[in-house]
Amino acid sequence: MKVLRDLSNEELLAKLITKKKAKTLLNAADNEFSYINGQNVVKEANISYLNNVDKETLHEMANLTEIQCDILMAAVELGRRLEFQRANKEFISEPCSAAAVARPYLANNDIEVFGIILLNVKNSVIGFREISRGSLSASIVHPREVFKPAILNSAAAIILVHNHPSGICDPSREDLTITERIVKCGKYFDIPILDHIIIGHGSSFYSFKEHGHM
């Protein structure tokens, strides 16, 4: 008998939502995400697509019941939290560490998601909070929403993070403007912004601090 680690993606999903619906779901993902940037990435897409899918989409793709949707989304969230905990065992000492913490929450989104990593006085991670979804703008990413969770969780510092669905990590003019605004507000609240990380495809990321923007 196979142990869980030896099961295929389809076999694992079948244990959660039945074999027939697992096959239907993966086939639907294959059809929609077979090619990204001209490269066949079906195997990754089958899993990464589930990282941010909602109940309505799951139902449309494989006719999952509400209970099956809840089970599948709970399993995905557990996996995300395990990856998050594994990434933040140590304190944030360099940008790649911050990128590793943020990646489980930001990678593989088809829209921009902005969040913050909360740190204590030793730069150890105490949490991650999603702030907004959609293209970055002053109307969506307001300093009030950024610093509220930092204050409530007694964070000593924070790191700004967001993804670029295009996979290209270079910051836009809007990214630079938003960062400058939040950094200024951080001085007022005495909560320093240590960096702003943009998450791209694969392991790529962009650090504002490394590139002299902070």
Q: Does one domain contain both 165 and 193?
A: yes
If asked whether residues 62 and 100 sit together in one domain, one would say no
Among 28, 48, 83, the domain boundary falls at 83
Determine the 3-state secondary structure of 51 from DSSP: helix
Letter for the amino acid at 181? Answer: R
Does 212 map to a domain? no
Instruction: Domain of residue 60: give its range.
Output: 4-83
What DSSP letter does each residue of 130-157 carry, written as one string? EEEESS--TTTS-HHHHHHHHHHTT-SE
* 3-state secondary structure (DSSP) of residue 214: coil
Tell me, what's the pLDDT at 86?
63
Distance CA 153, CA 104 (A): 21
pLDDT of res. 189? 93
Please indicate, yes or no, whether residues 109 and 59 belong to a single structural domain of this protein: no
213 within domain boundaries: no
Q: What pLDDT, on a 0 to 100 scale, did the predictor assign at position 150?
A: 95
Tell me what pLDDT residue 87 has. 55
The verdict on residue 214 lying in a domain is no
The model's pTM: 0.64
Same domain, 61 and 97: no
Asked, for residue 200, whether it belongs to a domain, the answer is: yes
95 and 189 share one domain: yes
Same domain membership, residue 8 and residue 71: yes
Q: Which residues pair with 163 in a beta bridge?
A: 199
Q: How far apart are CA 77 and CA 121, in angstroms?
A: 28
CA–CA distance, 209 with 196 (Å, rounded to integer): 7
Q: Tell whether 107 is covered by a domain.
A: yes
> Residues 19, 73: one domain?
yes
The residue out of 23, 56, 83 marking a domain boundary is 83
State how many domains the chain has. 2
Paired sense of beta strands 125-133 and 39-40, if any: unpaired
In a shared domain, residues 137 and 32 = no
**DSSP state, residue 170:** P
- 214 residues of the chain, pLDDT tens digit each: 667 777 788 888 888 888 888 888 877 766 554 444 444 443 434 566 677 678 888 888 888 899 998 998 888 888 777 766 665 555 788 999 999 889 888 887 888 999 999 999 989 888 899 999 887 655 578 899 999 999 999 999 999 999 999 999 999 999 999 999 999 999 999 999 999 999 998 889 999 999 999 8
With respect to residue 54, please indicate whether it lies within any of the assigned structural domains.
yes
Q: Same structural domain for residues 73 and 146?
A: no
Of 40, 65, 83, the residue at which a domain comes to its end is 83
